[in-house]
Structure 1
Amino acid sequence: MPLISPFRLSPVAALVLSGLAGAQTAPNKLPDVVVTGAAIEKRLEDAPASVSVVTRADLERRPVQELAEVLGTVPGVTLTRNGNGVPGVQIRGLGSAYTLVLVDGRRVNSGSAVFRGNDYDLGWVPAEEVERIEVVRGPMSSLYGSDAIGGVVNIITRKVGTRWRGSARLDAVHQENRLAGDSQIASFSVSGPLIADQLGVKLYGGADKREADDPALNPAAANGTRQAALPGLKNRYLSGQLAWTPNEQHALTLDLDSSHRDHGGFELEREALSLRHQGRFDFGRSELRFYRDNTRNLTGTVTGQVNPNKSTVQVLDGKLSLPLDLLDQHLTLGGELRHEELWDPANLAGAPGSAVRANPNTKVNQKAVFIEDELKLLPGFTLTVGDRYDRHENFGGHHSPRAYGVWHPAKAWTLRAGWARAFRAPTLLINSPDWGSPSCGSATVGCYIIGNRDLKPETSTSKELGAAFDGGSWQLGLTIFDTELKNMLDISNRTANKKLAPSYDNFVGFLADGRPMFRYQNIASVKSRGAELSSRFTLSPTLNLRANYSYTDARNSSGAIELPLTYRSKHVANLRADWQALPALGLSLSGRYNGAQYISVPANGQNTLQAPAYAVFDASAAWTVSPMLTVRMGLANLADKTLDRETSNEFNEDGRRIYVSATARF
């Protein structure tokens, strides 16, 4: 039965069913300020968006090879493996390609180089150097433009301090099932002042490795075929920052990053540069930033082939925030210039066998201006309205307006409601008719997919309603959302069957070797409705309990009948208890429930396949040996609940495993 739209509820029912916009992720108190959900810093309870925060303490409790593993505990977030065994983040039922990933507010986008969502974008920063992660659920195109149609993940790193600090961390994970791969993680960081109160430096880096699973990990099917297990993963990263504060009005930071990621032989290298100026003046605040990302795909995207490509993104953006006395406003004006280039001689040069090879380079320019105004209209009530106008070289102009109200009717209550529209432009790859890639499970006898110059941008309309009650030692709440996505970019209509292929409306012909060709199209529309419940209880000064539950009903509504989307559990719940048993000893127990999810939904709605529901429990302990040394250990998946991979898009749920971690600080 579909979820009732929150905008058809009575006011009383809406109040009862509304809830916390942010997940209560800190064990003792919520972070005071968030920077992602608005144009200016806001207290979490005042943020004009549904914002959850993953704190540094959350990241320290377990060895984190992929940040997505922790994000999967946030309400409204589910994980997908994108067919390569590495997790990507889905927000409120929309795929990982609809989640914009930021590092300290800078866009990270490897999609053009790897033809995937955000499964690569979350791994450029070691967990030890992350201060917190802010997750905005719902469209934020009014501030961030295209790719923020589903939500935003902002990874915020630790700042250069006024005193020298340093750390080194080692983690190891040992699988009980020796067919599954073990993993090791090492990272370090050091930062401090070079000139007191003026010039500081930060340097951090690390490496992690997960050994490949044994091919025999997945049992053979009745026909003798066996799904591939998780490939080996290797990552390394090195980053530095110079922070110069010549006086109280000006601050300059220079960041340099170099990273390498290897997902089972698919290797990416990324080099990034960022220069930012922040100003604090009597009339307001300003920020101006230039950054450049170079991502080199050393191997390409086709198994068994080496087809390197390179993606370059250059961005100049800025904003000016002005407090105004009239209606107690805070006005923010901003803009962005973005230039993207892609070089791909293998996949951007026309279909295989073409007599004339196309130009292997493509590029696009995009510019935008935005305005956001925060108005305190009544005591305790703030209305935030804004709009962003993007001018895309290939798709023209698009507005992304939004309005969000936050009301504190009493000291313990926060009520909120919001509406937003967003858009997402097709990537350089799928917008080019000269781009193509093997598909249908084989690089030689499957099918071939190509881009399409006539694609339309995707647009979404999202509404949400919520409230929060803070009882001091306990907090409860629920957020209800309703999202509709139009002109969804789609390539699901494809087949290797040569007789059946011409009946598909996106069929464009055959390659010289006989493989059928299909192009991207705008055929799908998606509706996603749901509810996100979160709670926190401080049972004693040493014992905290947190729980959240998400209901998401995401459906493809483009056909005669609505079809559920794959790899999206309707019901997801997380539970965590943290007990400071002794001043130097902390204990934690957590549980995660994933409801049944579809793993195959044919277009006719018949013969669907579902993966069963399951629950996983973890236990961990942290011992502060001294102010300079902390040792952690734990047992993950206590009940040894595993799932076998039955299709290429699935993933194995790791079984019981033990991990140990040691962090030295100075």
Structure 2
Amino acid sequence: MSPPHPPAWPAPMFALLLALSGAVPAVQAQDAAPAPAPAADPAAAATRIEITGSRASDTEQRRQSTAAKIVIGREEIEKFGDSSIGEVLRRLPGVTTPGAPGRGGPPRLRGLGGGYTQLLIDGQRVPPGFSLESLTPEQVERIEVLRAPTAETGARAIAGTINIVTREGFRRRLNDLRLGVGVEGGAASPGLHWTRNDSAGPLTYNLSSAAFVRRQRSDSRTETVETALADGSVLQAEQETTHTADRRAGLNATGRLQWRLSDSGDTLLLAPSLFHSRGRSDRRFTLQQDVPATPPAYDVADSQGRSRFTHLRLNTQWRQRLGPATRLEVNGNGGAWRARGDSVRQEFRDDGTLLRTLQDTSRTREHTLALNAKLSQTLGGSDTGPATATDSAHSLVSGLETEAVRRREQRSGDLQADDATGNLQASSLRLAAYVQDEWSLTPHWALHAGLRWEGITTEGTAADGSRPRNRSSVATPLLHVLWKPDPKGRDQVRLSLTRSYRSPALGTLIGNTTINSKFDPGGPNEATSPDRAGNPALQPELATGVDLAFERYLAGGGLLSANVFHRRIQGLMRSVTTLETVDYSPVQRWVARQQNIGDATTQGLELEAKFPLDTLLAGAPRVELRANLGLFRSRVDGVPGPDNRLDQQARATGNLGADHRFRGLPLTVGGNLNWVPATETQLSDSQRTRSGGKRVFDAFALWTVDPGMALRLMASNLDARHYESSNRFTTATSTQTASTTAPTDTNWQLRLELRL
């Protein structure tokens, strides 16, 4: 079946972005300056000045970076009043999130699935089990999106890198308190956020904390149909409905304490953080068979789940100037997290007869210790600061990194295989060395060249006594080129030639075998509901890539950008479902494992535009316009087409947004439309999946009562629609298709913002 045609509106937006490259250059510089706010509204004038300064800073950072980088500052982060940082990321260029609209998930660049995007918090990799939904926008200073890897940030970024920088200390005093409540599907979710910036002598500090309760209700319906290949007759047809009520409460706290040790710039930084959450999930299942092939496993089932997650981290940083042009930076990072999960599932007949009870208990702990050293030198040009286009200087950076991770899992219950029940211990050691040179060659040319080597050794002790071990190493050369046809102009071209990789997650290498809860462990299961197991023989994927971008920076802080990319991937990892003989069942079971299946190619086009409307149309209202569009294609060698694309990669994504501050009124309104089309993927000769399309419309209104008080109303997923997905598996004799439909709801949020 061919994928449905995308909605009609993205095509005009695509044409608009192309047309703007010729339409906007005629704008005169004097049109870029906004008209001053009326004198009678001093609060409005103060707000206008602060926003303009912030925007110029973000755009200028992007413009001056030799490697392609998008910087999102405080203005964009807090604009909509989102309750989590995941909602902010969804509107950024090229970013998609899995699952139904409004449900979020780990952000993904360029439509690619999990593991292709490197996620960092303050330059450190996000630990397994940590959800970005736990991080509130109030705790974030800026977001950096790097479309191509650099030696310093790491090469485990085939799709790119998202670095979330938490709030930094400033000389300007800040004491903000924000109280809010969200409502979705009749369930209320309150939240409280507090941020404090201040200084005391040589100490500059920032403290930020958040407490929240999030409640969500959802329903879904899955229809599973099995048909015979010989005559198309229906062998089995069943419907399973699920009602879920989730509740999660959390407390987050981050700090940043920086001491100025000398007038030459020597500093000591301590950045502790704590994230803690508890969750509860209650589900109700109903199973109905229209064409029974076997007696139904159950008629009604209940499931109760409890979870707890705690993450504690301490980052330390010491910067010492060794000479006029030499600086040493040493970072020590220690972290620990633990997760706990307990679930009970009971299945009944319609008459109340208890058929079976399934229990599952898991305990996971992980400790991480990292030590990094970086030496920065300026060779030639100015010795007093960063190299500029006129310095013809080298900014040379070299570094060493080491990271040790130790993990322990305890899992037991009815959903564990006999040979995997008990303890699992695993550890990994990562060593890395890199060198990079950022060279302002001429006023027209700048180069950013780097080489990074990284080796990872993973070993473990499984419950069955085996000691799986995996070792891999990757050398990644990287080159970024920036060309300015006119150093005083507003146009520039970027070229990146890179090598990057994706390493297997620890759980995919060494992990307990988990039995699908839908089927009794002693009997057969279905290909669309397989058991899952690890594969210690996995090797990392390697990708060779090229990025080419054109950027035009407009007067008034706007920009136009067009970017094309290509990646050739070797050793592609993919979950493969096969029928296996297992120790925990007398019959063969379908089991899914990650495997290296061959090579693949992905490429795409990314367009972005951001500018005030009055710079395009004289006399128009001061409306800030934002638009971006990404088109993605991929092909997996050895898998028959059509649609033999990378797993979970969206075909496209787009955003169209605008906001406006009314003159003479302390009111700002805005909205954004996010679009992701439906995508079908041929995973193998026998398996095909489909992800439904998404259109998510967000809107907000901000009423500034006075400089110290504001009221914000925000609505997400206003045009709430059903989300559909399917999974089809073909065997030698039949085809089985599982199709899921889930309605979604609008999320309303009201928040009071106070500056104390």
* Alignment TM class, shorter chain as reference: 0.7 to 0.9
Match of 2:720 among 641, 647, 654: 641
Match of 2:544 among 461, 465, 486: 461
How far apart are 1:567 and its partner, in Å? 4.5
The 1:294–1:615 alpha-carbon spacing in structure 2 relative to 1, beyond 3 Å, is: same
Q: Which amino acid aligns with 1:279?
A: Q
Q: Provide the residue aligned with 2:176 in structure 1.
A: 167
How far apart are 1:619 and its partner, in Å? 2.6
- Correspondence 1:80 to 2:98: yes
Q: Provide the residue aligned with 2:335 in structure 1.
A: 293
**C-alpha contact 1:84 1:230 (8 A) present in aligned 2:** no
How far apart are 1:357 and its partner, in Å? 7.3
Q: Which amino acid aligns with 1:392?
A: I
Secondary structure in 1 aligned to 2:132?
helix
- For 1:209 and 1:558, locate their aligned partners in 2 and report how far apart those are by CA, in whole Å: 47
Q: Provide the residue aligned with 2:566 in structure 1.
A: 482
User: Per-residue CA shift, 1:53-104, capped at 9, x if unaligned?
Assistant: 3321223233423312211111211111499954111111322322222222
The 1:636–1:145 alpha-carbon spacing in structure 2 relative to 1, beyond 3 Å, is: closer
Q: Which amino acid aligns with 2:712?
A: R
Q: Which amino acid aligns with 2:198?
A: G
Match of 2:271 among 248, 255, 258: 255
**C-alpha contact 1:298 1:308 (8 A) present in aligned 2:** yes
After superposition, residues 170-569 of structure 1 pair within 5 angstroms as: 170-175=179-184, 177-178=185-186, 181-193=187-199, 195-196=200-201, 198-214=202-218, 217-218=219-220, 221=223, 223-227=238-242, 229=244, 231-248=246-263, 249-262=265-278, 264=281, 265-280=306-321, 281-299=323-341, 305-325=360-380, 328-346=393-411, 352-354=417-419, 360-393=424-457, 394-410=470-486, 411-432=489-510, 435-439=512-516, 444=521, 446=525, 447-473=530-556, 474-494=558-578, 501=579, 507=580, 509-512=582-585, 514=587, 515-540=589-614, 542-561=622-641, 563-565=644-646, 567-569=648-650
How far apart are 1:381 and its partner, in Å? 0.7
User: Per-residue CA shift, 1:547-581, capped at 9, x if unaligned?
Assistant: 11111123433424361345443232211212110
Q: Which amino acid aligns with 1:235?
A: G
- For 2:720 and 2:333, locate their aligned partners in 1 and report how far apart those are by CA, in whole Å: 44
- For 1:226 and 1:453, locate their aligned partners in 2 and report how far apart those are by CA, in whole Å: 36
Q: Provide the residue aligned with 1:5 in structure 2.
A: none
- For 2:647 and 2:160, locate their aligned partners in 1 and report how far apart those are by CA, in whole Å: 19
Structure 2: where are the runs of 5+ without partners? Answer: 3-17, 22-49, 224-236, 282-305, 346-358, 382-391, 458-469, 615-620, 727-737
Q: Provide the residue aligned with 1:574 in structure 2.
A: 655
**C-alpha contact 1:145 1:423 (8 A) present in aligned 2:** no
The 1:54–1:69 alpha-carbon spacing in structure 2 relative to 1, beyond 3 Å, is: same
User: Per-residue CA shift, 1:574-611, capped at 9, x if unaligned?
Assistant: 11212110366243332324242236645237875452
Secondary structure in 2 aligned to 1:400?
strand
Q: Which amino acid aligns with 2:504?
A: P
| Percentage identity across paired residues of the two chains | 22
How far apart are 1:634 and its partner, in Å? 3.3
**C-alpha contact 2:472 2:539 (8 A) present in aligned 1:** no
The 1:392–1:527 alpha-carbon spacing in structure 2 relative to 1, beyond 3 Å, is: same
Secondary structure in 2 aligned to 1:43?
helix
- For 1:544 and 1:554, locate their aligned partners in 2 and report how far apart those are by CA, in whole Å: 34
- For 2:674 and 2:58, locate their aligned partners in 1 and report how far apart those are by CA, in whole Å: 28
Count of aligned pairs: 608
The 1:651–1:462 alpha-carbon spacing in structure 2 relative to 1, beyond 3 Å, is: farther
Structure 1: where are the runs of 5+ without partners? Answer: 2-15, 20-25, 36-41, 115-119, 495-500, 502-506
Q: Which amino acid aligns with 1:587?
A: T
- For 2:531 and 2:575, locate their aligned partners in 1 and report how far apart those are by CA, in whole Å: 11
The 1:83–1:565 alpha-carbon spacing in structure 2 relative to 1, beyond 3 Å, is: farther
User: Per-residue CA shift, 1:94-116, capped at 9, x if unaligned?
Assistant: 22322222222222221xxx4xx
**C-alpha contact 1:80 1:96 (8 A) present in aligned 2:** no
**C-alpha contact 1:452 1:521 (8 A) present in aligned 2:** yes
- For 2:344 and 2:507, locate their aligned partners in 1 and report how far apart those are by CA, in whole Å: 15
Name the stretch that deviates more: 440-449 or 256-265.
440-449
Secondary structure in 1 aligned to 2:152?
helix
- For 1:633 and 1:596, locate their aligned partners in 2 and report how far apart those are by CA, in whole Å: 28
How far apart are 1:464 and its partner, in Å? 0.8
**C-alpha contact 2:102 2:716 (8 A) present in aligned 1:** no
**C-alpha contact 1:324 1:331 (8 A) present in aligned 2:** yes
How far apart are 1:34 and its partner, in Å? 7.3
**C-alpha contact 1:18 1:468 (8 A) present in aligned 2:** no
Q: Provide the residue aligned with 2:161 in structure 1.
A: 152
**C-alpha contact 2:410 2:424 (8 A) present in aligned 1:** yes
Secondary structure in 2 aligned to 1:226?
strand
User: Per-residue CA shift, 1:232-272, capped at 9, x if unaligned?
Assistant: 33332122333211213311111222212345434321011
- For 2:717 and 2:593, locate their aligned partners in 1 and report how far apart those are by CA, in whole Å: 42
**C-alpha contact 1:421 1:460 (8 A) present in aligned 2:** yes
**C-alpha contact 2:711 2:752 (8 A) present in aligned 1:** yes
Q: Provide the residue aligned with 1:665 in structure 2.
A: 755
TM-score normalised according to structure 1 size: 0.82
Q: Provide the residue aligned with 2:671 in structure 1.
A: 590
User: Per-residue CA shift, 1:404-425, capped at 9, x if unaligned?
Assistant: 1001112111111111101233
Name the stretch that deviates more: 75-84 or 26-35.
26-35
Q: Which amino acid aligns with 1:333?
A: S
Secondary structure in 1 aligned to 2:63?
helix
**C-alpha contact 2:658 2:672 (8 A) present in aligned 1:** no
The 1:266–1:149 alpha-carbon spacing in structure 2 relative to 1, beyond 3 Å, is: farther
The 1:300–1:486 alpha-carbon spacing in structure 2 relative to 1, beyond 3 Å, is: farther
Q: Which amino acid aligns with 1:437?
A: T
Secondary structure in 2 aligned to 1:456?
coil
Which structure has the bigger radius of gyration?
2
Secondary structure in 1 aligned to 2:115?
helix
- For 1:295 and 1:558, locate their aligned partners in 2 and report how far apart those are by CA, in whole Å: 40
Q: Which amino acid aligns with 1:659?
A: Q
**C-alpha contact 2:101 2:744 (8 A) present in aligned 1:** no
- For 1:589 and 1:343, locate their aligned partners in 2 and report how far apart those are by CA, in whole Å: 47
**C-alpha contact 2:411 2:421 (8 A) present in aligned 1:** no
User: Per-residue CA shift, 1:642-664, capped at 9, x if unaligned?
Assistant: 12455599895743443211111
- For 2:538 and 2:165, locate their aligned partners in 1 and report how far apart those are by CA, in whole Å: 35
- For 2:344 and 2:442, locate their aligned partners in 1 and report how far apart those are by CA, in whole Å: 58
Q: Provide the residue aligned with 2:288 in structure 1.
A: none
User: Per-residue CA shift, 1:172-207, capped at 9, x if unaligned?
Assistant: 2223x54xx4432211122322x32x1233322112
Q: Provide the residue aligned with 1:6 in structure 2.
A: none
Q: Provide the residue aligned with 1:8 in structure 2.
A: none
- For 1:109 and 1:428, locate their aligned partners in 2 and report how far apart those are by CA, in whole Å: 11
The 1:302–1:431 alpha-carbon spacing in structure 2 relative to 1, beyond 3 Å, is: farther
Q: Which amino acid aligns with 2:121?
A: V
TM-score normalised according to structure 2 size: 0.73
